[in-house]
Amino acid sequence: MVSTQLLDADTLEKVFADVFKAEAALVRPQLMSGTHALTVALSGNLRPGDELLSPVGSPYDTLEGVIGIRETKGSLKEYGITYKQVELLENDEFDYENIKKAINDKTKLITIQRSKGYLPRKTFSVKQIGELIAFCKSLKKDVICMVDNCYGEFVDDIEPTEVGADMCVGSLIKNPGGGLAPTGGYIVGTKECVDNAAYRLSAPGLGREVGATLGINQTLFQGFFLSPTVVASALKGATLQAGVFEKLGYKCEPSSNEDRHDIIQAIIFGSEELVVKYCDGIQKAAPVDSYVTPVKDDMPGYDAKVIMAAGAFVQGSSIELSADAPIKPPYCVYYQGGLTYPSAKLGVMMALQKLYESGLVKLS
Ligand SMILES: *Cc1c(COP(=O)(O)O)cnc(C)c1O
């Protein structure tokens, strides 16, 4: 029998490192969101005068503030870290020619966002990410390749750390928390990168040695154990969403019969009204707060108003049934999660019901 005393913080980090086939892991409740984990990973590994490169176009909205693409107090830019970005080609492929031009003496870290996030682009497979990393390292052997792994965990059979990523970073209230983790984030990768991040999270010289677990370790273990099954339910739900809304004539990314590389389903509605009704339907199917009507509002870190449908057991959790949409063209909803397939299916049915009742969608 396994003693629950084995469910300690060191063991949790060993389990994460083992699963991600990495040297080390930092898995802490003190990493308070995905954005925070990414900030810690970046600022722990970059120094003044270094350059950060995104070879995959714009990073996630909140990172614009972190990097200083949008003027923000305390950004990497304020600390003398410069930034370059290479856009994707029209078919969402990597622009190798311009990536080659962008990598220079100062390039210290390359950040690759696996998931589409809030952009209507394709999500990269781990295999594609591996090819990109190999290319970058062929030009600069010691450049640090970091993958923003949010929403991608356990969708492919392998993780980016298995194809050359020096660091993979994500949030525990998305996939790897399995719906149970109440907070937290993770950074896995080489011992050097993880140690550098830990010195930033706590203090130089202290690093991974400090930090209370606040009694949530068992939950983090159990959530990680459930995560692949929960991710499978979410994927099934997303596929159903795509199947239904494609039939109604809306463009879905990915389409219902495409390979999936994250749990997000983008549905392009093309109008604010449709987006709002859809989100209302998702909210009505939530296990918690189903009586609430979501409304658009400003969100720190996002440039447009955002509407969010979520009635989650864990506040802010997006491995639970949820949908978000920035209120701007092309009026695209990003649906994700569902702890069980039946609850995800109810989400599809309620969204459809709301659209039908409002007369915006006709069912023949
Ligand atoms: C959610 C997400 C983040 C930010 O995570 P938060 O926990 O919301 O701060 C960063 N990158 C991607 C791709 C995400 O999906």
- pLDDT tens, 9-39? 899 999 999 999 999 999 999 999 999 999 9
**Tokens of residue 3, six digits:** 């003693």
DSSP run (H or E) holding 98: helix 96-102
Residue 303 has pLDDT above 90, yes or no: no
Is the confidence at residue 2, as pLDDT, over 70?
A: no
How far does residue 149's CA lie from ligand 1's centre (Å)?
Answer: 9
Task: Categorise residue 96: left if φ over 0, alpha if ψ from -120 to 50, beta otherwise.
Answer: alpha
85 DSSP β-pair partners: 54
Question: Average pLDDT for residues 319-329, to the nearest whole number?
Answer: 94
- The yes-or-no verdict on residue 1 having pLDDT over 50 is no
Q: Using 50, 70 and 90 to split pLDDT, how confident is the model at 361? A: confident
Q: Dig out the tokens for 16 from the structure.
A: 């994460």
Residues 177-190 pLDDT 10s: 999 999 999 999 99
The pTM for the full model equals: 0.95
pLDDT computed for residue 301 by the predictor? 65
Closest C-alpha residue for ligand 1 atom 12? 150
Looking at residue 7, its pLDDT comes to: 80
Q: What is the pLDDT of residue 5?
A: 61
218-242 pLDDT, tens digit each: 999 999 999 999 999 999 999 999 9
Mean pLDDT over residues 186-206, rounded?
Answer: 97
Query: How high is the mean pLDDT of the chain?
Result: 95
Residues 92 and 99 sit within 8 Å (Cβ to Cβ): no
- Cα-to-centroid distance, 316 and ligand 1 (Å): 11
* pLDDT, tens only, 45-82: 999 999 999 999 999 989 999 999 999 999 999 999 99
Task: Give the model's confidence band at 8: pLDDT under 50 very low, under 70 low, under 90 confident, else very high.
Answer: confident
* Residue of 62, 61, 356, 31 whose CA lies nearest to 197: 31
How many angstroms does the Cα of residue 89 sit away from the middle of ligand 1? 23
Q: What is the dihedral of CA 318, 282, 286, 119, to 10 degrees?
A: 0
**% of the chain exceeding 70 in pLDDT:** 98
- Cβ < 6 A, ligand 1 pocket: 33-35, 60, 62, 113, 115, 117, 148, 150-151, 171
DSSP secondary structure of 258-288: S--SSS-EEEE--SHHHHHHHHHHHHHT-SS
Q: Confidence class of residue 363 from pLDDT cuts 50, 70 and 90?
A: confident
Look at residues 261, 287, 283, 286 and name the one whose alpha carbon lies nearest to residue 333.
283
> How far does the centroid of ligand 1 lie from the alpha carbon of residue 117, in Å?
7
